[in-house]
Structure 1
Amino acid sequence: MQLYSEYYVSPKAERFVNKIWCLDNSIGESLIENKLVLPNGCFNLAFITGNSIEVHTSKMKYEMGEGIYFCSQMTNKVLVNMQPKTKVIILQFHTWTLSMFSKYDLSDFLDSIIKINTEELPFKTQIDSDIESLLNTINIYFEELSGLHSEKNVIEKICEIIKSQEEEISVSEISRDLKLSQRLLQIKFKTATGLTIKKYIQIMKFRKSVDQMVNSDLEKLKLTDVALYNKYFDQSHFIKKFKDVTKTTPKMFDPKSYFLSHKR
């Protein structure tokens, strides 16, 4: 049995949904302990069936039994312990997706998890839906949403500008590009994501560095190269920022301890 697996939505739905990932210990007889997840700028919706998982964020410990849980933006690594006979299907939304639903103010919701009801979801599905059914539901709903919102909103535009830059970009530069005040951009982004724009930029830079480390031969790719390629001041600056999130150094980082995205 494969514990971690990934599934991808249709090209149109991918505008809003990064992927679906699954942690499957449903036929396991033992506890999966001390697995780690890194922040990546996405929101997550977790469908838990079977027994339970225990999740430690930087704020608190969550005991999550069968149900649906909404996970905010995370700013530090998250520790996961998973009981036997448990399965978790996780729907991963892009940073801007929830800003399409104006009733949500997430400005104070960070490093946190809440349990929700199926009635609160904008699409109809069940807690115990299989991957294929969930993929079909998600594709239909978000393809239609994409058609209804052909114009990108300001949160999506901000994220698009940040991701498209080779050099690290400042809020003032984003403000000039979008012809909107820095204050307005900051308020809108914080309300929609819980993050400041600067913090989002830091998270995306960090994940890019980790992906580069994991998918490269570290014997050939020196930490200085990773640091400079990802626009850290120097190796020391990179190590400090890396420790802020993972509580370990890049050289002591063990990818096997983490649930990391598959290379696409």
Structure 2
Amino acid sequence: MNLYSEHYVSQKAERFVNKIWCLDNSIGESLIENKLVLPNGCFNLAIVSGNAIEVHTSKKKYEMNEGIYFCSQMTNKVLVNMQPKTKVSIIQLHAWTLSMFPQYDLSNFTDSIIKINPSELPFEVQSSFEIETLLDTITIYFEELATLHSDKNVIEKICEIIKIQEEEISVSRISTDLKSSQRLLQIKFKIATGLTIKKYIQILKFRKSVDQMVNSDLEKLKLTDVALYNKYFDQSHFIKKFKDVTKTTPKMFDPKSYFLSQKR
């Protein structure tokens, strides 16, 4: 049994869903302790079945028993302890996905988790769903959403501009590209994601540097190269920002302690 696995929706649904990832300790007899998750600029909808999973964010500890939970944008590492006989299926939503539902104001909602009633969701999910059923349900719903909203809204456009840039981009440049005021873009982005545009850029840059470290030979990799490649001022600036999120240095970083994205 693999504790961690990743599953993917269709290309059309991927416009809104990054992936579905599973933590499966359903046949395990022991507690899985002190596993870590890093921020990556996505929201997560967690479906817990069995006993419980304990999650420590930078704000508080959450005991997540059977049910469905909405996890906000995280700005620091998250610690996970998972009870035996527990399975969690997690729908990872892109930063702009919640902006398709303008009734939600997330401006003060980061590093937090709330339990939600399944009836509040626009699609049906149950804790008893197998991954194939969940994939089919999510794919069908978000393919329909993509068809209904063929034009990208301003939040999706902001994120797209950030992701396609080779160089780190400023909010001023984004506002120029979108022919909108910086203040208006900042307000809309904060409401939709809980993050400032600058913070979102920093999170993406951080994850890009982690992925580079994990997929390289850490013994031979020079931190100066990682820092400069990912547009940090210098090595010391990179180390400081790395410690802000992980509470450890790049040299002490142990990928085996983390749930990290698999190479697709």
Could you say which TM-score interval applies, normalised by the shorter chain? over 0.9
Alpha-carbon distance between aligned partners in 2 of 1:157 and 1:142, rounded to the nearest angstrom: 18
Secondary structure (helix, strand or coil) at the match of 1:159 reads helix
What's the RMSD between the two structures over aligned residues? 0.5
**TM-score normalised by length of structure 2:** 0.99
Cα deviation, residue 180, structure 1: 0.4
Please show how residues 34-183 of structure 1 align to structure 2 within 5 Å: 34-183=34-183
Report what 2:218 is aligned to: 218
1:3 aligns with 2:3: yes
- In the alignment of these two chains, the number of paired residues is 264
Q: Are the aligned partners of 1:47 and 1:127 in contact in 2 as well (CA < 8 Å)?
A: yes
Cα deviation, residue 221, structure 1: 2.2
Q: Give the AA of the match of 1:3.
A: L
Please show how residues 224-239 of structure 1 align to structure 2 within 5 Å: 224-239=224-239
Cα deviation, residue 87, structure 1: 0.3
Secondary structure (helix, strand or coil) at the match of 2:185 reads helix
Cα deviation, residue 218, structure 1: 2.1
Structure 1 alignment gaps of length 5 or more: none
Alpha-carbon distance between aligned partners in 2 of 1:128 and 1:60, rounded to the nearest angstrom: 28
Alpha-carbon distance between aligned partners in 2 of 1:69 and 1:132, rounded to the nearest angstrom: 20
Q: Give the AA of the match of 1:253.
A: F
Secondary structure (helix, strand or coil) at the match of 2:6 reads strand
Report what 1:246 is aligned to: 246
Alpha-carbon distance between aligned partners in 1 of 2:130 and 2:13, rounded to the nearest angstrom: 18
Return structure 1 stretches of 4+ with deviation > 4 angstroms.
Answer: none
Alpha-carbon distance between aligned partners in 2 of 1:82 and 1:218, rounded to the nearest angstrom: 29
Cα deviation, residue 219, structure 1: 2.9
Q: Are the aligned partners of 1:47 and 1:128 in contact in 2 as well (CA < 8 Å)?
A: no
Q: Deviations over 1:186-240 (max 9, x none)?
A: 0000000000000000000000000000011123321100000000000000000
Alpha-carbon distance between aligned partners in 2 of 1:209 and 1:149, rounded to the nearest angstrom: 33
Alpha-carbon distance between aligned partners in 1 of 2:228 and 2:187, rounded to the nearest angstrom: 31
Structure 2 alignment gaps of length 5 or more: none
Alpha-carbon distance between aligned partners in 1 of 2:102 and 2:75, rounded to the nearest angstrom: 23
Please show how residues 183-194 of structure 1 align to structure 2 within 5 Å: 183-194=183-194
Q: Give the AA of the match of 1:113.
A: I
Q: Give the AA of the match of 1:241.
A: K
Alpha-carbon distance between aligned partners in 2 of 1:188 and 1:160, rounded to the nearest angstrom: 15
Alpha-carbon distance between aligned partners in 2 of 1:178 and 1:218, rounded to the nearest angstrom: 40
**TM-score normalised by length of structure 1:** 0.99
Percent of residue pairs bearing the same amino acid type: 86
Secondary structure (helix, strand or coil) at the match of 1:47 reads strand
Secondary structure (helix, strand or coil) at the match of 1:21 reads strand
